[in-house]
Structure 1
Amino acid sequence: MQYDPKNSVKIPINTLTTGMFVTAIEDSKRVNLANAGRVSSQQAIKQLIDNGIKFAWVDPELSVKGSVFKPAIDPEPEEEVAEDVKPVKKKKLSRFSQQQKAQKIIRDAKGLAQKILSQTFEGKPFELDELDVMADDLIESVLLHSDALHCVSALRTKDEYLLEHSVNVATLLVTFGKYLELPRDMLKQMAIGGIVHDVGKIKVNDKVLHKPARLTPEEFEHMKLHQVFASEIIVTIEGLSDVSRDVCLMHHEKLDGTGYPNGLTADQLPLHGRMSCIVDIYDALTADRCYKQGMSPAEAFKILLSLTPNHLDKELVYKFINCIGVYPVGAIVELSDGRVGIVWTSNSNEPLKPEIKCFYSRKYNRFIDVAFVNLKTSQVKIEKAIAQSQLEVDATRFYEA
């Protein structure tokens, strides 16, 4: 859907209603939204208010009929902020508050994923309403403070792999979909699909599911049945969209037809199905599992590329890497001066020069005072990416804002 920013009207956030088409938001200055669209729910409006948003720009022509617009009284004309002028620092609603919200969203999403698995195990149907709200929250978090969300989701716990994997696949699909400029409704359907995509594993034998070693051919055939189980489970979910079903049932398919459960080929795999294959593999590779340690994003990217073009869509894999960045937020890196830190803030203009939160020195083998290094203005550079499992110290506490 196309819109012209000049047609937008600035309104107080408390007058925003569902159905209005939002093109920009403001807390201290205007931020144009890359994913402009209609407000889908009261929950989305509450999320904006909770994030300190004071005004919204809405396009009356693209909003639903009957919407009432109350323009904000703003006597001072808007001024363009020069690139060399530093914006005034916000109060500490910044990264700390953003990560608090991100932690709650991920915690709630994991709780919902657990509830779905439990109800499925007990043979009870589950409602789509809670998934709808969760998807809206996830989308708003990606749109408003994606760095904080990805930093929180990067911190993994091996014992919670199934839950974290479901939430991370949903988060990555929304992030990837936003990058590809897919409609908001598509982002929502993909997020829901991500949360339920591994629901069939609840019926897999626990000894196979949690085996701390390579599966035998017979065990692998049993594991593959989780997709058959999933197709039986999701058919009972009333109102689940075709896109959500595809994400659930296509994430193990391959372009050359050698995947499962249906052996679909390239011409049978839609965009969202191809995306789910890439995202599922990437998150599985970078996570600690009961039988292996997670690898760094850089190592995972090499494997994704090695699976093209027979298994994965080569063009989409490159777009995915560009989307989350060669050094994704939340990844651990070593700098050229021996310091180790967490990729803290992305830099879309110069993806190889993000901001790093340094906390350890490999040169001196000790923790150091936390320092934020913006590689855009620093002489140091990233030497290499490090998997969390390869780091000699525990970085967990440094993921806190």
Structure 2
Amino acid sequence: MQYDPNNSIKIPINTLSVGMFVTAIEDSKRVNLAHAGRVSSDKAISQLIKSGVKFAWVDKELSAKGSVFKPVVDLPEIEEPKSQEPTAPLKRKKRSRFSQQQKAQKIIRDAKGLAQKILSQTFDGKPIQVDELDDLADDLIESILLDSDALHCVSALRTKDEYLLEHSVNVATLLVTFGKHLQLPKETLKEMAIGGLIHDVGKVKVDDAVLHKPGRLTAEEFEHMKLHQVFAGEIIMKVAGLSDVSRDVCLMHHEKLDGTGYPNGLTAEQMPIHGRMSCIVDIYDALTADRCYKQGMSPAEAFKILLSLTPNHLDKELVYKFINCIGVFPVGAIVELSDGRVGIVWSSNQEEPLKPEVKCFYSRKYGRFIDVTMVDLKTSRLTIKKAIAQSQLEVDATRFFEA
């Protein structure tokens, strides 16, 4: 009899009943694989309870019809400190992260809403209002300066059907983060954020059949797609109060240092730093996103492609700085640890980029969800085995991105 570990749920042992199909049991936080099979009698359940078993994993599909399941609701935990220091600071940190993530969720929602409004107004021939963009850019910058981890964790959760909106917001967010890392002036960060939010505005004039084609574009279709940058130039010419930096971000993100990009075939000498940054960020976010015609790749895979595009297309020094900025394992990335646990990179570690804090929720070793735990790799013997694209993970991780 075959069972799917993804169907297993964790229940208190005192709710186990005859006919349920058990796949594993837990005793004092130790998870043990069980001899998979249905519970045959109340006596068997009593024996498990007497043995100190606290929880059982059961397969709903293979359990007897009529079985009533009462899953354990796992709450996020903070790993206990190695020393005997008070735990109160850790609790305060947890509440702070929850608060910051709630705020980040609102910023992302507002940003996507404004991006949609801009696209709709542009489609109807109405001008973009820079004042609205100013306010949102200020919110993005404030959130990144206070707690960039929270914002990046929220923005890492992608929806294929909202690619255009999420891509615009993510490009703006990543540009601000990158600019902060390079210690650019706050006003420049704001101007780059605005440029990021509108950088794909020209796509409102691209044929929908081309824009949403679920496959490789023909040469003719690609030439049409490239026109979105020409359209963008026409659109932003009419925007009052838009800075040169914002215009450059919008119009240069498809240019290449060797002059083979579009729409203007600019060369390295003609591209300022913010223009070069927009090229890197745009490609990175596009590579890591699920699209109607492809699955997103892991950050590590995207970094390899970015490096392969240097020095002819992308600025090599800036690519390395970008990788250092967001980390080899960026916040929001999904990783597998050396013990088989899978989790979300929850907090970055600038001093030791290979040792971030990871929110673990699943075990590939046992093939099931586990109690949510925070693992700080700075103080753990565990290491990151590899990064995993969300599309490559065998379970849905969506709910674990919440604080």
TM-score, reference length from structure 1 = 0.78
What amino acid sits opposite 2:128 in the alignment?
Answer: F
Q: What is the match of residue 125 of structure 1?
A: 127
2 CA distance for matches of 1:228 and 1:170?
21
Cα distance in 1 for residues equivalent to 2:353 and 2:201: 35
Structure 1 residue 93, shift from structure 2 partner: 3.9
Offset at residue 91 of structure 1 (A)? 7.1
* 1:239 maps to amino acid: G
1:313 aligns with 2:302: no
- Equivalent residue number for residue 67 of structure 2: none
Listed as ranges, the gaps of 5+ residues in structure 1 are 1-82
Shift of 1:92: 5.6
In structure 2, the partner of 1:70 is: none
Counterpart CA distance in 2 for 1:345 and 1:125 is 39
Gap regions ≥5 residues in structure 2: 1-82
* Residue type at the aligned position of 1:254: K
3-state DSSP of counterpart to 2:239: coil
- For each residue in 1:8-35, what CA deviation from the matched residue of structure 2 results, as whole angstroms up to 9, or x when unmatched? xxxxxxxxxxxxxxxxxxxxxxxxxxxx
Q: Distance in 1 between matches of 2:290 and 2:84?
A: 43
Matches within 5 A, 1:29-68: none
Deviation at 1:153, TM superposition (A): 0.2
Q: 1:373 matched to which residue of 2?
A: 375
- Cα distance in 1 for partners of 2:244, 2:351 equals 36
| Correspondent of 1:299 among 294, 301, 312 | 301
Cα distance change of structure 1 residues 84 and 197 upon mapping to structure 2, 3 Å threshold:
farther
Partner residue of 2:200? 198
Q: 1:197 is aligned with what amino acid?
A: H
Paired residue for 2:281?
279
Q: Counterpart of 1:347 in structure 2: which amino acid? A: N
Looking at structure 1, the residues matched to 279 and 310 of structure 2 have their Cα atoms a distance apart, in angstroms, of 12
1:133-172 to structure 2, matched below 5 A, reads: 133-172=135-174
Q: Classify 1:373/1:249 alpha carbon distance in 2 versus 1 (closer, same or farther; 3 Å).
A: same
Q: Which runs of 4+ in 1 moved over 6 A?
A: 83-87
Task: Please state whether the residue corresponding to 1:94 is helix, strand or coil.
Answer: helix
Larger RCO, structure (CA 8 Å, separation 6 or more)? 2
Partner of 2:96: 94
Write the distance in 2 (CA, Å) between the matches of 1:309 and 1:187.
Answer: 25
Q: Residue 270 of structure 1 aligns with which residue?
A: 272
- RMSD value, Cα: 1.3
1:95 Cα deviation after fit: 1.0
Q: Give me the whole-angstrom Cα distance separating, in 1, the residues matched to 2:100 and 2:194.
A: 23
State the partner residue of 2:229.
227
Q: 1:116 matched to which residue of 2?
A: 118
Query: Distance in 2 between the 1:85 and 1:202 partners?
Result: 56
Separation in structure 1 between the aligned mates of residue 209 and residue 238 of structure 2, nearest angstrom: 27
- The higher radius of gyration belongs to 2
SS in structure 2 of the partner of residue 99 of structure 1: helix
Specify the SS of the correspondent of 1:330: coil
3-state DSSP class of the match of 2:335?
Answer: strand
Question: What is the match of residue 388 of structure 2?
Answer: 386
- Residue 145 of structure 1 aligns with an amino acid whose one-letter code is D
Question: Match for 1:258: what amino acid?
Answer: T
* Residue in structure 2 matched with residue 322 of structure 1 by the alignment: 324
Query: Deviation at 1:84?
Result: 11
Question: Structure 1 residues 128 and 286 mapped into 2: Cα distance closer, same or farther (>3 Å)?
Answer: same
Counterpart of 2:396 in structure 1: which amino acid?
A: D
Instruction: Give deviations 1:20-67, integer Å, cap 9, x for gaps.
Output: xxxxxxxxxxxxxxxxxxxxxxxxxxxxxxxxxxxxxxxxxxxxxxxx
SS of equivalent residue, structure 2 residue 255: coil
Cα drift, residue 126 of structure 1? 2.4
- Which whole-Å CA distance do the structure 2 matches of 1:170 and 1:397 have between them? 24
1:372 Cα deviation from its structure 2 partner:
0.5
Q: Distance in 1 between matches of 2:373 and 2:148?
A: 21
Secondary structure, in 3 states, of the residue corresponding to 2:358? strand
Q: Percent identity?
A: 84
Counterpart pick for 1:182 among 175, 181, 184: 184
Aligned mate of 1:248, from 247, 250, 266: 250
